[in-house]
Structure 1
Amino acid sequence: MKKVRNSVRLPSPALLFFEDAIRANIDMAIKIAGSPGRLRPHVKTHKTAELAAMAMARGILKFKCATIAEAEMLARAQAPDILLSYTLVGRNAERLIELVLKYPHAKFSTLTDNLEVAHVLNTLAEKAKVKLGVFLDLDVGQHRTGIAPGPDAEALYAYLSAAPGLSAGGLHCYDGHNHQRDLRERQAAAAACYVIAADFRTTLLSSGLPVPEVVMGGTPTFPCYASRQELTLSPGTCFLHDYSYASSFPDLRFEYAAAILARVVSRNSVMGTFTIDLGYKGISADPKGARGFLPGYEDSVPVLQNEEHWVFTAPKKGLPSIGEEIYVIPTHICPTVALYERAHIVDKDGVCFTEWRIACRDRSIGI
């Protein structure tokens, strides 16, 4: 990972995005999928209009998101196809209809795993005189949300197909429980999830119900589904990448495209420790264990982290100097990005030349 040549102008901690690495990761995702048309990337990781625009420039025209703000960001960026992959209740269901009315160029859809929400969405869509696409959220093993295949799921999908305000968008099958380090084990687990989805799709088609799209696969598993040409693939983390996925899934050939610039604020030669200005208000505190990787300081062990401080043992090469710059690769980049108002963008020559606003860290950016 390159260092920033004009880092003296940056505050710390500072979120960095490396433009050439982002471009390489977009291209790698397309290579794995076989074409940009097979991708529906999730924007929850980067939350920026600029990265979405980079993806569209590469031919990716379908996107997935988790919040109303992310959906509106995509609409403002002129994304033509936006799946809000979250069951919407209360005011959020109304906000989605408002998005549909405000941004007519975009095809919006959402998902549900129950009739109660489907009825509400249909009522709102009919009242607004719009047609809303709704995917059935199919549980393929994670048991977080989703309805299991069977008669109830078939009845729900039939309702989505027949309701006057709705159109059945297809199946959304998230397998976020598949985190097997061994590629063959992950492939086998993904294959089992695929059978669940494919069998249910066949059941729906045999009943005369249209299934326009089947969305499967996050970053760890979308390569496992790439040979299934009928699937749309929806990775997200890979566009920035992080230490968790790099260390857990060595088969994924993505580059680190995000880092945090921190600086040494204290050193203790008696204790043999140094402290950087990066606490858990600047880097995600999940999952358990190491919260970040420090290139060049691999043998330094984290001792203590508070809100604005992070203490490490000295590396074998000796304590760093006061003010020395430390680059940190977050273990979990998605919630880390949400802690920052902006990302500082670094070009291929290592020059920070602009900023991107992390627009969707707010829950509302308009509607």
Structure 2
Amino acid sequence: MTEQYWYTIEDVDQLDTPALVVYPKRVKQNIDMLKYMIDDVFRLRPHIKTYKNKEVALLMMDAGITKFKCATIAEAEMLGMCNAPDVLLAYQPTEPKLLRFIKLIQTYPDTKFSCLIDNEASANTISTIATDENLSVNIYIDLNVGMNRTGISPENEALQLYKACFQLQGINLIGLHAYDGHIHDADIVIRTEKVNAWYGIVIKLQNEILDSGFPKPLIIAGGSPTFPILASKKNLECSPGTFVYWDRGYQLAFEEQHFLIAALLVARIVSLPEENLLCIDCGHKSVAAENVLAKRIYFLNAPDVKIISQSEEHLVVDAGKGHGYKVGDVLYGLPYHICPTVALYESAITIENNNITGQWLNIARDRKITI
């Protein structure tokens, strides 16, 4: 009889593979741990990109979390469907995305939606369209604090943009957004030094805005790698996302964060092409494949296999001669990057007390729900 671990599924014969499975009890424990790591739940604005389903969003709301962050209109709409009180679309919408965003605001009036901008032209466009629709769109200025992906420099140009936006009709300027996704050093001391460097610049900007006679702008900042550092500061909102499921990459990189693995991939051995090789039904279409082969998936009950190759539907690993694995054996895989992995699956199968209990539909993995 196979030894039972926390992840073992007793009725796994009912589950076709590859499959994404989630353990609700562990999800709840991760939410509790997140709350424990910060002084005020009101400072939490978790990103929903990892899970993409209503069920986890509702669990967070049940835990007292009222603010959320997302990256797509579909993710924002899913939160509107959940009656989430406050949702930031962490994206600068351009037409037709802007028109969809306006429609979102009109369709879900009980949710306070906001978005990002990093230039005056985009602000003017939002102002014009919002004014035509008799709306006031909530805006955060997106700051480039080193990732060099989006945003405006917090040192030189941001204050002028803030002043310009404050004068525009159809815009309600709320604050500043700073994402530091480029900071992922394993050493928390180094991470802390890098966070403090950009944080000081953003606080200086905040004070300059205050000195210019404007209301104090709110600050939304960070992701999972820098969450413990930013959580220890005051007067800003934190936006971790991966914590809810966790993954192999963050498990290895950020040892000071003790979130539980709450989602896995279940796969099966489908062939034994050579005496040392196993072929598993876990190809590019089953697990995030942006990393090198060795950093895509780690099998909890086959930790020593070495990945040799991967194609669309197959993963070939070297298990060594005399390995003892058989066709049909079930493997439990931990993705290195869970967020894009979840997007490959229509649903996550729920596992409670080592048995299948249902499914959570990942409706926000699509580009469009209704809007």
Output the TM-score relative to the length of structure 1. Answer: 0.97
Distance in 2 of aligned mates of 1:49 and 1:128: 29
Query: How far apart, CA to CA, are the structure 1 residues paired with 2:262 and 2:63?
Result: 17
8 A contact 1:265–1:277 mirrored in 2: yes
Q: 2-side partners of 1:159 and 1:23: how far apart?
A: 43
Task: Answer yes or no: is 1:284 the counterpart of 2:298.
Answer: no
**RMSD over aligned Cα atoms:** 1.3
Match of 1:81 in 2: 86
Partner SS state of residue 37, structure 2: helix
Residue 361 of structure 1 is matched in structure 2 by: 365
Matches within 5 A, 1:163-178: 163-178=168-183
Say whether 1:64 aligns with 2:89: no
CA separation in 2, counterparts of 1:102 and 1:55? 23
The CA distance in 1 between the partners of 2:9 and 2:40, in whole Å, is 33
Q: Where do 1:285-324 residues align within 5 Å? A: 285-288=289-292, 289-314=294-319, 318-324=323-329
CA contact (8 A) 1:18 1:346 kept: yes
Q: How far apart in 2 are the matches of 1:302 and 1:242?
A: 18
Aligned length: 365
Contact 1:274 1:319 in 2 (8 A): no
Q: How many angstroms apart in 2 are the aligned matches of 1:293 and 1:141?
A: 31
How far is 1:317 from its partner?
7.5
Alignment correspondent of 1:250: 255
| Aligned counterpart, 1:344 | 349
**Any conservation in 2 of the 1:171–1:214 contact (CA below 8 Å)?**
yes
Deviation at 1:304, TM superposition (A): 1.1
Task: Encode CA deviations 1:273-296: one digit per residue, 9 max, x unaligned.
Answer: 111111011101012242011112
Q: What SS is found at the alignment partner of 2:295?
A: coil
Q: How far apart are 1:209 and its partner, in Å?
A: 1.6
Of the candidates 201, 204, 215, which is equivalent to residue 210 of structure 1?
A: 215
DSSP-derived class of the 2:92 partner = coil
Name the % identity: 39
> 1:204: Cα distance to partner?
0.7
Matched, 1:7 2:9: no
TM-score when normalising by structure 2? 0.96
- Mean alpha-carbon deviation: is it higher for 208-217 or for 49-58? 208-217
Identify the residue that residue 3 of structure 2 maps to in structure 1: none
Q: Is the 8 A contact 1:280 1:307 kept in 2?
A: yes
- Report the Cα distance in structure 1 between the residues aligned to 2:167 and 2:76, rounded to whole angstroms: 26
1:216-269 CA distance string (max 9 Å, x none)? 110000110112110100000111111111111111111111100000111245
- For 2:136, the equivalent position in structure 1 comes to 131
CA–CA distance in structure 1, aligned partners of residues 230 and 281 of structure 2: 41
Corresponding position of 2:112: 107
1:173-212 equivalent positions in 2, closer than 5 A: 173-212=178-217
Alpha-carbon distance in 2 for matches of 1:48, 1:216: 23
Q: Distance in 1 between matches of 2:107 and 2:51?
A: 24
| Native 8 Å contact 1:168 1:211 kept in 2 | no
Which residue number in structure 2 is paired with residue 274 of structure 1? 278
Q: Give, in whole Å, the separation in 2 of the partners of 1:269 and 1:175.
A: 46
Q: In the TM superposition, what whole-angstrom CA distance separates every residue of 1:128-157 from its partner, at most 9, and x where no partner exists?
A: 111111000011111111100245311211
Quick one: distance in 1 between partners of 2:324 and 2:210? 65
Residues 114 and 147 in structure 1, CA contact (< 8 A), matched pair in contact too: yes
Given that 2:155 and 2:201 are in contact with CA atoms closer than 8 Å, whether structure 1 keeps it comes out as no
* 1:44 paired residue among 29, 46, 49: 49
Tell me the CA shift for residue 211 of structure 1: 3.4
Secondary structure at the counterpart of residue 33 of structure 1 = coil
Partner Cα distance (1:151, 1:269) in 2:
62
Secondary structure of 1:156's counterpart equals helix
Aligned partner of 1:26 in structure 2 is 31
Q: Residue 159 of structure 1: CA displacement?
A: 2.5
SS of equivalent to 1:319: coil
Find runs of 4+ consecutive structure 1 residues off by over 4 angstroms. Answer: none
Rounded Cα–Cα distance in structure 2 between residues aligned with 1:352 and 1:4: 7
On the 8 A contact 2:266/2:331 being kept in 1, the answer is yes
The answer on whether the counterparts of 1:299 and 1:316 sit within 8 Å (CA) in structure 2 is no
Q: Is the 8 A contact 1:267 1:319 kept in 2?
A: no
**What do residues 192-227 of structure 1 show as CA deviations (whole Å, max 9, x unaligned)?**
121121111111111112234201110000110112
1:234 is matched with which residue?
Answer: 239
Query: Any conservation in 2 of the 1:294–1:327 contact (CA below 8 Å)?
Result: yes
2:113 maps to amino acid: F
Conserved in 2, the CA contact under 8 Å of 1:281 and 1:308?
A: yes
Structure 1 residues without counterparts, runs of 5 or longer: none
In the alignment, which residue of structure 2 is the partner of 1:122?
Answer: 127
- Provide structure 2 residue ranges, at least 5 long, that are not aligned to the other structure: 1-5
* Equivalent residues of 1:299, 1:315 under 8 A apart: no
